[in-house]
Amino acid sequence: MSPPAPGTVIPLRRRSARRCSTLVIIPCLDEGPRIQRLIEDLDRAHPDLDVLVIDDGSTDDTAARAADGGAAVVRLPFNLGYGAALQTGYKYALERGYERVVQMDGDGQHPVSQLRPLLDRLDRGDVDLVVGSRFLGRADYRIPIARLLGIRLFSRLTSLLARRRITDPTSGLQAMNRRVFGFYQQDFYPYDYPDGDILLKVQFAGLRFEEVPVVMVGGPPGKSMHSGLRPIYYVYKLLLSLGLTWLSGSSSRPDSGGS
């Protein structure tokens, strides 16, 4: 199909008349070479899940390939940021009555086989958000030392502020119920990098989350949200956001956020 115009919403091609209660949200920026294969893999492994691709201002054929694969597509008018793309997906899910959301990256880093452990844990009903942790499971790729040190630093800091162990606060592989993605409609949700600060907000709001082990693989070479000068901004922004979140939630901070 021809590339959809910016601002276009392409509806889902349903595989059956049965209403699905779970939506997979995939924020994408220039993932044309990979996204159709990912959607087809999802269709084979999880035919009971609907798929939504948020095309965050791609300059390639991401939107067209996603639609060809059978996903619903929202094409943003320009690049708004990873967090803004996710929030667009949450609003889509809320408006269309979905009960659960799974979010995953479009670069192939999150194998489709890893969605089931998250959903199974969510289905037990005693948590609202499930985060896939490569540090409880396995990272089948070499994490650059500087990035690994940064993740470890933010893991310890987030754990300290939350008063519980959090191993992978930067994980983009998550499953959540309607309480959580409804909570994420608010203005506090960042347009760029939702990480450990958002987990703190979830805890301070009385919502329950837990990490589960997952396997992650390496994305395409040379492609990263944290290239150039962005890591400097990311560190500054996250440290500031963690501090402000902790201060704003300290008066109602619970003794324990869960397991």
The predicted structure's pLDDT at residue 164: 95
Q: Is residue 171 part of a domain?
A: yes
Full residue range of the structural domain in which residue 81 is found:
9-252
The predicted structure's pLDDT at residue 203: 94
Give mean pLDDT, residues 2-10.
Answer: 74
The predicted structure's pLDDT at residue 14: 61
The CATH number that applies at residue 41 is 3.90.550.10
Q: Is residue 24 part of a domain?
A: yes
Chain mean pLDDT for the chain: 87
What is the tens place of the pLDDT at every residue in 197-238? 999 999 999 999 999 999 999 877 555 554 544 666 666 677
Q: Is residue 244 part of a domain?
A: yes
The total number of structural domains that make up the chain: 1
Q: Is residue 219 part of a domain?
A: yes
Q: Is residue 1 part of a domain?
A: no
In this prediction, residue 163 has a pLDDT band, given cuts at 50, 70 and 90, of very high
Q: Is residue 50 part of a domain?
A: yes
Q: Is residue 259 part of a domain?
A: no
In this structure, are residues 4 and 75 in contact, taking their beta carbons and an 8 Å threshold? yes
Give mean pLDDT, residues 115-131.
Answer: 98
Q: Is residue 257 part of a domain?
A: no
